[in-house]
Amino acid sequence: MKVKLAMSEVKVDYSLYLVTDRKWLRERDLGQSIELAIQGGVTLVQLREKAISTREFLELAIKVKEITSHYRIPLIINDRLDIALAIDADGLHVGQDDFPLKRARELFGPHKIIGVSASTIAEALLAQQQGADYLGVGAVFSTSTKTDATEVSLDQLKIIKKSVTIPVVAIGGINETNLRQVLDTGIDGVSVVSAILAKKDILMAAKQFKNMLGSEFRF
């Protein structure tokens, strides 16, 4: 009898972590854009929606889950535990002011992926202690995607990475020109938004990013 492993029991590839933001798509379809990004090399998708109703978010999440499931790419829901539960998402990402991690773990289950945003060593260590599977650390560069994000220097990012044992994904303003600097900190992956979704050719943009990552990450 085959036993289906929970997503958190499988080695997750955090190397090219796409976070959605439809404002960059310029009327292009989100589902098709995500599929192109996955075909180009994206290894994980976070669905982030701050300005739509719960019903709209749910309907969108169902469609995106069909795509990510087809390619066997983990789907992380940003902030909304109710949506993550409703579609049986692979994971949930919460910020410091979002749903409490400990309670989210209780409700979401022990085998789901839960990531936490962190900008200090204290936040990172607490998230790890409370059971986070990975950290999103930043913003390492200024970004228009999240204007209220706390800035984290590359030196701070390196220190946070060395302070924890769980994977660290760098977030905030990462693109082709500054990627090398970020990789030199030893992190486990990079989170990108406009560097892929704002490009005219999303498939090629993702492929170029994946090629730049090269053999830095092995899973």
Per residue in 150-169, pLDDT (tens digit) is 799 999 999 999 999 999 99
User: What mean pLDDT do residues 184-211 have?
Assistant: 96
Could you tell me the residue range of the domain that residue 81 belongs to?
7-213
Distances (CA, A) of 55 to 61, 62, 68, 133, 182: 10, 11, 20, 28, 37
Go through 20-44 and write b for each residue having 16 or more CB atoms within 10 A of its CB, e for each that does not: bbbebeeeeebeebbbbbbebbbbb
pLDDT the model gives residue 219: 45
Q: Say which residue the tokens 């990012």 belong to.
A: 157
pLDDT tier at 146 (50, 70, 90 boundaries)? low
Under 8 Å CB-to-CB from 67, ≥6 apart: which residues? 31, 34, 35, 38
pLDDT tier at 148 (50, 70, 90 boundaries)? low
Asked if the structure places residue 128 within a domain, the reply is yes
User: What mean pLDDT do residues 103-112 have?
Assistant: 96
- Given a cut of 50, whether residue 171 has pLDDT beyond it is yes
| Residue 122 CB neighbour total at 10 angstroms | 11
Report the C-alpha gap between 21 and 50 in whole angstroms: 9
Overall number of domains in the chain: 1
Start-to-end C-alpha separation, the chain = 26
3-state DSSP assignment of residue 73: coil
User: What mean pLDDT do residues 78-94 have?
Assistant: 98
User: What mean pLDDT do residues 139-152 have?
Assistant: 76
Amino acid sitting at position 176: E
**Which residues carry out catalysis?**
48, 117, 146
Helix (H) / strand (E) element for 152: namely none
Query: What percentage of the chain reaches a pLDDT higher than 70?
Result: 90
Asked if the structure places residue 219 within a domain, the reply is no
Asked if the structure places residue 52 within a domain, the reply is yes
Q: List the CATH number of the domain containing 196.
A: 3.20.20.70
Backbone region of residue 214 per phi and psi (left: phi > 0; alpha: psi in -120 to 50; beta: other values): left
Q: Say which residue the tokens 């997503």 belong to.
A: 7
Asked if the structure places residue 218 within a domain, the reply is no
pLDDT the model gives residue 10: 61
- Given a cut of 60, whether residue 194 has pLDDT beyond it is yes
Asked if the structure places residue 174 within a domain, the reply is yes
pLDDT tier at 1 (50, 70, 90 boundaries)? very low
pLDDT tens digits, one per residue of 30-73: 999 999 999 999 999 999 998 899 999 999 999 999 999 999 99
Residue 38 per-residue DSSP state:
H
pLDDT the model gives residue 149: 65
Longest dimension (CA), the chain: 50
Asked if the structure places residue 1 within a domain, the reply is no
Looking at every residue in the chain, the average pLDDT score rounds to 92
Distances (CA, A) of 127 to 26, 110, 122, 157, 219: 36, 15, 9, 15, 23
User: What mean pLDDT do residues 176-202 have?
Assistant: 96
